[in-house]
């Protein structure tokens, strides 16, 4: 089993998220998405906002090994990501899976 003693405690994560939220809504959503899904940073860079709101999922077309992967997200975080995308004029065809 992997030794996880050097990982952040929940209190540390909450402090980090609060600090990010005070500085930048975008950075807050990035950190919260990484924390809630466990996705890799490289996967976050490739999500292209391919969202399945009815499944609370985000599709990553280029995950590890160039494979497609679906990650599930709590509805509050997913709603925040979708609202941020709409506020910043993300094209509808990139936003939702069919």
Architecture (CATH level 2) of domain 10-95 = Orthogonal Bundle (1.10)
Render 4-58 in DSSP notation, one character per residue. Answer: -TTSPPHHHHHHHHHHHHHH-HHHHHHHHHHHHH---HHHHTT-TTEEEGGGTEE
Mean pLDDT of 87-96: 60
CB atoms within 10 A of CB 26: 11
Spatial separation of the C-alpha atoms in residues 59 and 51, rounded to whole Å: 6
Indicate whether 93 pLDDT > 60. Answer: no
Spatial separation of the C-alpha atoms in residues 39 and 93, rounded to whole Å: 23
pLDDT tens digits, residue range 12-44?
Answer: 889 999 999 999 888 999 899 888 888 888 888
Mean pLDDT of 85-93: 68
pLDDT tens digits, residue range 36-87?
Answer: 888 888 888 777 667 888 889 888 887 888 888 888 989 998 888 888 888 8
Question: What residue ranges do the domains of the chain occupy?
Answer: 10-95
- What does the pLDDT read at residue 66? 82
Residue predicted with more confidence, 94 or 67: 67
The whole-model pTM stands at 0.72
């Amino acid at each position: 089993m992997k030794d996880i003693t050097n990982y952040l405690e929940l209190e540390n994560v909450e402090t980090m998220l609060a600090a990010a939220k005070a500085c930048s809504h975008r950075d807050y959503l990035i950190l919260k998405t990484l924390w809630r899904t466990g996705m890799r940073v490289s996967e976050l860079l490739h999500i292209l906002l391919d969202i399945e709101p009815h499944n609370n999922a985000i599709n990553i077309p280029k995950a590890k090994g160039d494979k497609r992967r679906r990650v599930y997200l709590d509805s509050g975080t997913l709603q925040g990501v979708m609202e941020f995308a709409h506020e910043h004029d993300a094209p509808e065809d990139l936003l939702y899976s069919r």
